[in-house]
Amino acid sequence: MTAPAAIETSGLTKSFGHQLAVDDVGLSVPRGSVFGFLGPNGSGKTTTIRMLLGLASPTSGTIRMLDGPMPTASADVLPRVGALVEGPAFYPFLSGRANLHRLDTADRYAPRSTRKRRVNEALERVGLAHAAGKRAHAYSLGMKQRLGIANALLTPRDLLILDEPSNGLDPQGTREVRNLIHSLADGGTTVFVSSHLLSEVEQMCTHVAVMSVGRLVAQGTLDELRGHDHTRLRIETPDVGQAQQVLAGLGLEPDGVGTDNPSIVTAALTVAGLQPETVNASLVSAGVRVRGFAANTMSLEDRFVALTGEGFDVDH
């Protein structure tokens, strides 16, 4: 039996006057996953996150989070959710530690008796223990980002929602946040990450959803999104006709022979479970003289561009 999703939406829609910001979005975020939420600026990611957290009301549609209907079950669900949305905001003349103490005090569910220990542990976990006494106005953007994540970790969470958690971080800080997210997921926390860094998503996430102009255009595991059917075979052989017959016999549809090099045969690997090495072995067994064989899988960047028609940042 499949466990209930940590987040599940159906027909989620948000309009601002005549402008449709989020249009009929149906998310399904598996428990224990690191779920990457991708999309160009203005695609509706942050509006969706705000609706999940009860910071904005949907125009229509439903939300279930940690088995509770939202916003009806907010009082029971939200204490189990940590969030960092649209960048952290802190009292500038209080230290990092004092900011966390104040924020924890405002949480009526946070136990007072363990506050000092929990604040110190959260600061240590995000690599800010050395700067805990420094005033927040002296923090870099990356340090403020980490302090925001520390705030989300002050009490144990079943679900963590992070909007651009690597924003402003140097490569070392980005690596630390990535490792932190992995450790949280290993401990059973579901992590929902909105990001514009494809390279980070590929290293960090188990599942991905892609938004474009307010609509959800794809979601699934990272491998599903890159797609078995987006692997292309490139075969160089003097036996072009015979190679095309072998490919057709395997259920593949070879493309027409290229005019630039008539000894090249290409085909999309569209048969589920059929591996490139099996195709190569079949060609050789049939007596096809294979001079070159390559299987090129579409990258997440290529898939993103194909889905949205837009470019994307791939590096920090």
pLDDT tens per residue, range 2-46: 667 999 999 999 999 888 999 999 999 999 999 999 888 888 999
Mean pLDDT to the nearest integer, 127-138: 93
78: left (phi over 0), alpha (psi -120 to 50) or beta: alpha
User: Is residue 227 within 8 Å of 303, Cβ to Cβ?
Assistant: yes
- The class that CATH gives domain 228-297 is alpha beta
CATH of domain 7-226: 3.40.50.300
* pLDDT at residue 316, rounded to an integer: 39
Q: How big is the CA angle at 210 (ends 209 and 214), to the nearest 5 degrees? A: 120
Cα–Cα distance measured from residue 301 to residue 307, given in angstroms and rounded to the nearest whole number: 10
Average pLDDT, the chain: 86
Cα–Cα distance measured from residue 158 to residue 6, given in angstroms and rounded to the nearest whole number: 9
Given the DSSP bridges, would you call strands 159-163 and 81-84 parallel, antiparallel or unpaired?
A: parallel
Domain boundaries along the sequence of the chain: 7-226, 228-297
232: left (phi over 0), alpha (psi -120 to 50) or beta: beta
Q: Is the pTM of this model over 0.85?
A: no
Q: When comparing pLDDT for 222 and 302, which is higher?
A: 222
